[in-house]
């Protein structure tokens, strides 16, 4: 499982840990809000639909930020874009601690979203272009497990803050801690290097900013872009339908205390880490398409059982492990798959668009869950929305080509070999 890391160069290892730390701290900032939803509802006197709107606005802004950051990484470089996005989301997470009312928090969360959406896009392309071909799936699946580490940190912070501080002060303290990722920029600046990319042939003029952002709609890649966007929608829609409302579901419908809720979430989080590692292993063995389809199907079965069956608390604790494990498999697969679908000149833009269009489209799912919970149980609303989303992901991924083992155009001397690889994948894509 970890032999790829032992074989890696110092640059590959530094890139892995730079992105791992960034995504982990990204998760810390994002998951703090989902845990603090009940306290924020009480502080501002808002309902579930309004709370879901904060999450949805954040998802929309993160999607726009990811698309823009992907294009910026194609234009100005992966590492520089990664630095800027980390500083951005850390600063606005900190400012959320001082929001005095619902509209202020809504605006600050939207601005925060631009940063963490962009950080994933820049980091994913940097990883894909730095890690060697045969280990790309394993490395990028493993780096996605940082989300579980950050999520776990958010749960520990949540349990401590709400145990020792008044509710209104506790959630504000959690957001104030969000400034910590800013220090990561120093590491990113010192340890990471920009991947070498082929220079444009001849005297080709520099692509304009608008054309850079919209080039994923060119005829040669438009089909890939549309299907990738649908896949991103299904993957994000299912995830956010579950994870945005899971703490509230446990607290309101299962009547679990803060510490007990943290215990249930701990099982899901550990399972999420295991799911990322399992997906990382399978990506380079059974291929990208089969891996996504397998985890999507298992997600549908598990989430419906988790929220709709009359389970005891012990049974829910046990089922929480496969719920977290299967939910991890799809996001751990998207990084390598999307990177391998696009050529070098638009890779950042393509990855940023497909992954983050899903965030825009999936922004309706948290609001829809909140709205549906007025006429049915919150658990039923979560289950129905998640099943529809993961079904969409299954269909979409089966319409994409298998890209396992495809070389990326990371350096000019490799262009001839890459061209041969592209022809081979077009005429005879690998099975699996």
Residue-level pLDDT, tens digit, the chain, 432 residues: 567 788 888 888 888 888 888 888 878 877 888 888 888 888 888 887 788 788 778 878 887 888 888 888 888 888 888 888 888 888 888 899 899 898 999 999 989 888 877 887 888 888 888 888 888 888 888 888 888 888 888 888 888 888 898 888 998 998 888 777 667 666 666 777 777 665 554 445 555 556 667 788 888 889 999 999 999 999 888 888 887 787 778 777 777 665 455 666 778 788 889 999 999 889 888 889 999 999 999 999 998 988 888 777 777 778 878 988 998 888 888 888 998 888 877 888 888 888 888 877 877 888 888 888 888 888 888 889 999 999 999 999 999 988 887 777 543 333 334 444 444 444 444 444
Q: Which CATH code fits 3-193+212-405+421-427?
A: 1.20.1250.20
Instruction: Report the C-alpha gap between 259 and 253 in whole angstroms.
Output: 16
Domain boundaries in the chain? Answer: 3-193+212-405+421-427
Contact criterion met (CB below 8 Å) for 137 and 283: yes
- Full-model pTM: 0.75
DSSP 8-class letter at 47: -
Instruction: Report the C-alpha gap between 319 and 30 in whole angstroms.
Output: 24
The closest alpha carbon to 410, from 134, 193, 196, 139, belongs to 196
Question: Hey, CA dihedral for 370, 372, 375, 376, is it positive or negative?
Answer: negative
Per residue, the 3-state secondary structure of 107-164, as one string, reads HHHHHHHHHHHHHHHHHHHHHHHHCCHHHHHHHHHHHHCHHHHHHHHHHHHHHHHHHH
Instruction: Report the C-alpha gap between 314 and 332 in whole angstroms.
Output: 28
DSSP character string of 315-360: HHHHHHHHHHHHHHHTHHHHHHHHHHHS-GGGHHHHHHHHHHHHHH
DSSP 8-class letter at 99: -
- Give helix then strand counts, H and E, for the chain: 20, 0
């Amino acid at each position: 499982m970890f032999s790829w890391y032992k074989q890696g160069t110092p640059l590959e290892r530094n890139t892995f840990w730079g992105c791992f730390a960034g995504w982990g701290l990204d998760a810390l900032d994002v998951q703090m809000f989902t845990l603090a939803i009940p306290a924020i509802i009480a502080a501002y006197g808002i309902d579930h639909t309004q709370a879901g709107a904060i999450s949805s606005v954040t998802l929309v802004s993160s999607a726009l930020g990811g698309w823009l950051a992907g294009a910026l990484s194609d234009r100005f470089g992966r590492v520089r874009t990664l630095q800027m996005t980390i500083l951005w989301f850390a600063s606005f997470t900190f400012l959320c601690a001082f929001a005095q009312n619902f509209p202020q928090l809504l605006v600050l969360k939207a601005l925060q979203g631009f940063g963490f959406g962009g950080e994933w896009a820049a980091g994913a392309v940097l990883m894909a272009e730095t890690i060697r071909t045969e280990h790309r799936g394993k490395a990028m699946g493993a780096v996605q497990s940082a989300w579980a580490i950050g999520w776990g940190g958010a749960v520990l912070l949540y349990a401590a803050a709400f145990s020792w501080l008044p509710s209104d002060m506790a959630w504000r303290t959690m957001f104030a801690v969000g400034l910590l990722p800013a220090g990561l920029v120093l590491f990113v600046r010192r340890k990471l290097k920009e991947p070498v990319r082929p220079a444009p042939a001849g005297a080709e003029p520099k692509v304009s900013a608008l054309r850079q952002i919209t080039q994923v709609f060119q005829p040669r890649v438009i089909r890939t872009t549309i299907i990738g966007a649908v896949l991103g929608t299904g993957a994000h829609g299912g995830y956010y339908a579950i994870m945005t409302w899971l703490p509230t579901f446990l607290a309101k419908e299962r009547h679990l205390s803060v510490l007990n809720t943290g215990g249930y979430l701990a099982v899901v989080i550990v399972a999420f880490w295991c799911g990322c590692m399992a997906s990382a292993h399978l990506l380079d063995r059974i291929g990208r398409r089969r891996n996504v389809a397998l985890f999507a199907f298992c997600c549908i079965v598990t989430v419906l059982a988790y929220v709709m069956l009359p389970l005891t608390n012990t049974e829910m604790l046990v089922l929480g492990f496969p719920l977290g494990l299967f939910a991890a498999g799809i996001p751990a697969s998207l990084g390598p798959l999307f990177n391998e679908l696009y050529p070098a000149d638009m890779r950042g833009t393509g990855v940023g668009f497909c992954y983050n269009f899903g965030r825009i489209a999936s922004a309706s799912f948290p609001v829809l869950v909140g709205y549906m919970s007025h006429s049915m149980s919150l658990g039923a609303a979560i289950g129905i929305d998640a099943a529809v989303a993961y079904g969409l992901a299954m269909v979409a991924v089966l319409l994409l080509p298998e890209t396992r083992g495809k070389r990326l155009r990371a350096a000019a001397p490799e262009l001839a070999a890459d061209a041969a690889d592209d022809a081979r994948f077009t005429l005879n894509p690998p099975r699996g």
